[in-house]
Amino acid sequence: MTGYRIKQAVRNGRKLIVADPRKIELTNYADIWLRHRPGTDIALINGLAHVILRDNLWDVEFVCERCEGFAEWSEVVEGYHPKRVEEITGVKAELIEEAAHLFSQAERASIVYAMGITQHTSGTQNVLSLANLAILTGNVGKEGAGVYPLRGQNNVQGACDMGCLPNYYPGYQLVDALESRHKFTQFWGTDLPDKPGLTLPEMMDAAYSGEIKALYIMGENPVLADPDANHVVKALKNLDFLVVQDIFLTETAELAEVVLPAVSFAEKVGTFTNTERRIQRVRKAITLRGNTQSDWETLVALANKMGHNWVYPRGPEEIMEEIARCTPSYGGINYDRLETRGLQWPCPTSDHPGTPYLHRDTFSRGKGKFHGVHHIPAAEEPDEDYPLLLTTGRNLYQFHTGSMSRRSKLERMRPEELMMMHPDTAKDYRIKDGDYVQVESRRGEVKTKTQVTDHIPPGMVFLTFHYKETPTNRLTNSARDPVCNIPELKVCAVKVKKVMN
């Protein structure tokens, strides 16, 4: 959908710069395509900022009035002159100059990114460098500008907003801040742990080492979705107790001691929050299948079995009322208001119209801060033993670990994994289109069919993580960004050899 809108904008005469190692469809629409090496985003973005600064194309007024940290930051980008950036990224210096000029001259420019930016050991720094570029050119806080992270799942925004994070209560209220802990202790009427918890990759490590004894998984499939899958499986098998709630017996559910059947979106009532922070209704279209019940009912029943007194006779609508009472950004949300169209948070009061874009007059932290960030190489790069760079992603017709899309007609469009490999690389390996290969990394191996294509550059291969027959995440590296713990799913080193089907 986002792709549709970008293509429509180009057709309406807008300019498009695409930065992607892959020849994605949007490159056909791009005025400039920056085909940088995976894992060199910061160098590329700093290079663009360097040119904008050098040629005096930045928004002096915006930076002076609304930002801080400019002086220190400008010293960092000083070192990223286009020739040096060309060496790191592989993108011609002239093209970097051209892109910098095009971007800075736009009256309003948007930056749209997804996991290509975040799934790196430098993920947080990558995002910061994009934010630097946006504030340098005054492209924040106005309609049609801004930095847009695209959410991959229907309610990943909502799950974050609701506090399914180890350091936040609902509405990003810190668990280790005395004030918010006090508030929730009162609100829920029980003592609360005071230290932030473990992140998902840390949980897997803790399960592996035996510190975590029991894991409760509601609607996730880490066996296929998480990096270094062999490690994940060992971790899950090492648990004393694993309970999984899902609509299918996924690869993860198979390892559980108890599996609780859940319901699909068509059988439940509730809300999802989308990538533009819009809270929207989910409506029940069909009755329950078999002996199933909604996840919320299961959680309520289990809490009550364990001695609590959770009562929501009016169901999800009543739960949303509780959310609104403890989550300031959802304060004005109720089902009546969501009936015709969703609302974008922050929506603090019941007469607030919602907020289409953030940082209008002031940033949430006050001043917009420049962060000087340096290029950091990926944790594992190709070498003699593992000479090819593996990057992972998705295809249009499948979704995530395939538990839903593979059980629909979409399966007929792409029934199996096709590892992309450049014709030059394929020639070196004597691999033809349609050949089967074994791909091996330091962590595991998988078998896959090959598609020979210039969609990706030489020396690189591309796999999705949709297919249990080719569980790509056995190969990927669980090396993490030190700030937010996101694993480096976009870069690791592999070797391939041709095998018989």
Partner 1 sequence: MVSITINGNQYSVPADYSILKAAEENGINIPTLCYEEGLTITGSCRMCVVEVKGVRKLLASCATPVTEGMEVQTESERVISARRDILRLLIANHDLRCLTCERNGDCRLQDYCYRYKVEDTPYKGDKKHYPIDTDNHFFIRDYSKCIKCGKCVSICAEVNGAHVYDFMERGFDTKVTSAFDDTLQETTCTACGMCVNVCPVGALVEKSVLWEGRPWEVKKVTTTCSYCGVGCQLKLKVKDDRIIGVTADKSGSNLGHLCAKGQFGWEYVHSQDRLTDPLIKRNGVFEKASWEEALTYVAHRLQGILQERGGQAFAGLSSAKCTNEENYLFQKFMRTVLHTNNVDHCARL
Query: For residues 293-322, which are near partner 1 according to CB under 8 A?
Result: 293-296, 298-303, 305-306, 308, 310, 316, 319-320, 322
How many residues touch partner 1 under the rule CB under 8 A: the total is 144
Stretch that binds partner 1, among 47-55, 93-101, 223-231, 365-373 (CB under 8 A): 223-231
Minimal distance, residue 375 CB to partner 1, in Å:
23
Looking at the Cβ atoms of 78 and 276, the one nearer to partner 1 is 276
Q: Are 419 and 467 in contact (CB under 8 A)?
A: no
Stretch that binds partner 1, among 225-233, 376-384, 416-424, 446-454 (CB under 8 A): 225-233
Looking at the Cβ atoms of 74 and 118, the one nearer to partner 1 is 118
Task: Return the residue of 143, 178, 179, 290 that touches partner 1, per CB under 8 A.
Answer: 290
Stretch that binds partner 1, among 50-58, 221-229, 369-377, 433-441 (CB under 8 A): 221-229
Looking at the Cβ atoms of 84 and 183, the one nearer to partner 1 is 183
Stretch that binds partner 1, among 50-58, 245-253, 377-385, 434-442 (CB under 8 A): 245-253
Helix (H) or strand (E) run with residue 66 in it = helix 60-66
Question: Within 68-87, which residues bind partner 1 (CB under 8 A)?
Answer: none
Question: Within 404-433, which residues bind partner 1 (CB under 8 A)?
Answer: 404-410, 412-413
Task: Return the residue of 156, 183, 230, 369 that touches partner 1, per CB under 8 A.
Answer: 156
Binding mask 458-477 for partner 1 (x = CB under 8 A): --------------------
List the structure tokens of 170.
């609902």
Q: Which amino acid is at 232?
A: V
Minimal distance, residue 365 CB to partner 1, in Å:
21
Q: Closest by alpha carbon to 114, among 24, 48, 28, 200?
A: 24
Question: Within 92-131, which residues bind partner 1 (CB under 8 A)?
Answer: 115, 119
Q: 166 to each of 176, 190, 200, 223, 452, how far by Cα in Å? A: 10, 18, 9, 21, 43
Looking at the Cβ atoms of 76 and 262, the one nearer to partner 1 is 262
Please, which residues have CB within 8 angstroms of residue 270's CB and are 6 or more apart in sequence?
281, 282, 296, 316
What's the alpha-carbon Rg for the chain, to the nearest Å?
24
Give the integer Cα–Cα distance in Å for 174 and 180: 6
Minimal distance, residue 246 CB to partner 1, in Å:
7
Question: Within 330-369, which residues bind partner 1 (CB under 8 A)?
Answer: 340-342
Give the integer Cα–Cα distance in Å for 250 and 236: 14
Give the integer Cα–Cα distance in Å for 321 and 450: 52
Question: Within 159-198, which residues bind partner 1 (CB under 8 A)?
Answer: 159-167, 169-170, 175, 184, 188, 190-193, 195-198
Place of tokens 């599996």: 259
The distance of Cα 479 from the centroid of its chain, to the nearest Å, equals 16
List the structure tokens of 261.
């059947």
Paired strand residues for 460:
389
Decide: is 200 part of the binding site for partner 1 (CB under 8 A).
Answer: yes
Helix (H) or strand (E) run with residue 495 in it = strand 492-499
Q: Are 236 and 255 in contact (CB under 8 A)?
A: yes
Looking at the Cβ atoms of 129 and 473, the one nearer to partner 1 is 473
Paired strand residues for 496:
439
